[in-house]
Amino acid sequence: MSTKILIIGACGQIGTELTQKLRQAYGTENVIASDIRKLNTDVVTSGPFEVVNALDYNQIESLIEKHQIDEVYLMAALLSATAEKNPAFAWDLNMNSLFHVLNLAKAGKIKKIFWPSSIAVFGPTTPKEQTPQYTIMEPSTVYGISKQSGERWCEYYHNIYGVDVRSIRYPGLISWSSPPGGGTTDYAVDIYYKALEDKKYECFLSEETKMPMMYMDDAIKATIGIMQAPSENVKIRSSYNLAAMSFTPKVIAAEIKKHIPEFEITYAPDFRQKIADSWPASIDDSAARADWGWSHEFDLEKMTTDMLNHLSKK
């Protein structure tokens, strides 16, 4: 029998590409995309799509029953910089959407959940370099606070109710196919667009701000990888550290200049600088590599070539 999948938040930065990859893997009709509105035409037209409010338990429940869903990928969230502008709504969306899905799984209506966490769970007191899987977590943003709380609830629902929930802590994600979604690491997406269009970019972070980053192809690979792993291999039920590369705006600008020699970067740090300063510079993801075989494919050089090739065609 085929696996039936529901993606909540399918029109977002990750959801867009995740939907296409899952449809390739499981069959278009078996992957139901959903979002609060029809925001992305590719996602809406390429297969089954439903309008759903992630905060409405009854809507989600009826969708799961209608399509006989086995697995839910809960991708709906308010990201770091956007969440700081509306903390109460960010908390409501990020937490209650998770509770709805956990409770549906507890009731036996879903077999498996994917829920994304983030490096935002770490804070200014966390070790900056090679941040360990288990370490001090004192997040200073509402996004980070909601993700850290979510990790604890995922682990609780697994331990107490046997819910098969799986999670990874995404670093900054870089993609050519969907525009930035309001995250602190989004400069690393925007910089490629501006390099091609304007040959210059004003960065909202300082030149030496080093953060963990990942190309979207690798993030999607990890997301599907942890969901397909045998249950006994997923030993951490809060969330796994995940890493690929770390760099500063200065370093990414230098890599772009190899392709576009006239490209120039300037710096005008804003409120996002404080958020970035509270996050790790590099991540130790040895647990994910050991437990379920995670490995990344893209480094900065390979990613830059791929980004500029795709954006040039766009």
Query: Which residues, other chains included, contact 143 with Cβ-Cβ below 8 Å and sequence gap of 6+?
Result: 77, 78, 79, 80, 83, 84, 90, 94, 118, 120
Instruction: Specify the pairing of strand 49-51 against strand 31-35.
Output: parallel
For residue 283, list its beta bridge partners: 131
Q: Which two structure tokens, joined as six digits, stand for 8?
A: 């909540």
Q: What is the CATH number of domain 173-213+245-313?
A: 3.90.25.10
Give the DSSP H/E element, type plus range, for residue 113: strand 112-114
* DSSP letter string, 4-29: -EEEETTTSHHHHHHHHHHHHHH-GG
Q: Could you state, in chain order, the average pLDDT of each consecutive group of 10 residues for the chain (314 residues)?
A: 94 93 97 91 92 97 98 92 92 97 98 97 96 97 96 98 98 86 85 96 96 97 98 98 97 98 97 92 98 98 97 90
With contact defined as beta carbons under 8 Å apart, do 126 and 280 qualify? Answer: yes
**What's residue 78's pLDDT?**
86
Other CB atoms closer than 10 Å to residue 182's CB: what's the count? 16
The residue assigned the tokens 């970035």 is 276
The burial class, CB within 10 Å (0-12 / 13-18 / 19+), for 82 is middle
**What's residue 80's pLDDT?**
80
pTM: 0.94
Smallest CA-to-CA distance from 213 within 138, 119, 149 is with 119
SS3 43: helix
Tell me the residue length of the chain: 314
Q: φ and ψ at 188, to 5 degrees?
A: -75, -10
With contact defined as beta carbons under 8 Å apart, do 38 and 44 qualify? Answer: yes
SS3 49: strand
The burial class, CB within 10 Å (0-12 / 13-18 / 19+), for 108 is exposed
201 labelled catalytic: no
Phi-psi region of 9 (alpha: psi -120 to 50; beta: other; left: phi over 0): left
Q: Where in 85-155 does DSSP place strands (E)?
A: 112-114, 117-118
**What's residue 132's pLDDT?**
98
**What's residue 178's pLDDT?**
75
Residue 223 DSSP symbol: H
Residue 131 DSSP symbol: B
Pick the CATH number of 5-171+214-241 from 3.40.50.720, 3.30.70.270, 3.90.400.10, 3.60.15.10: 3.40.50.720
- The single residue of 26, 57, 73, 143 carrying the catalytic annotation is 143
**What's residue 110's pLDDT?**
97
The residue assigned the tokens 């959407």 is 97
**What's residue 24's pLDDT?**
97
Q: Which two structure tokens, joined as six digits, stand for 251?
A: 């370093």
Is the Cα dihedral 295, 301, 307, 312 positive or negative? negative
Domains 5-171+214-241 and 173-213+245-313 share a fold: no
Q: φ and ψ at 139, to 5 degrees?
A: -65, 145
**What's residue 13's pLDDT?**
86
Domain locations along the chain: 5-171+214-241, 173-213+245-313
The burial class, CB within 10 Å (0-12 / 13-18 / 19+), for 255 is middle
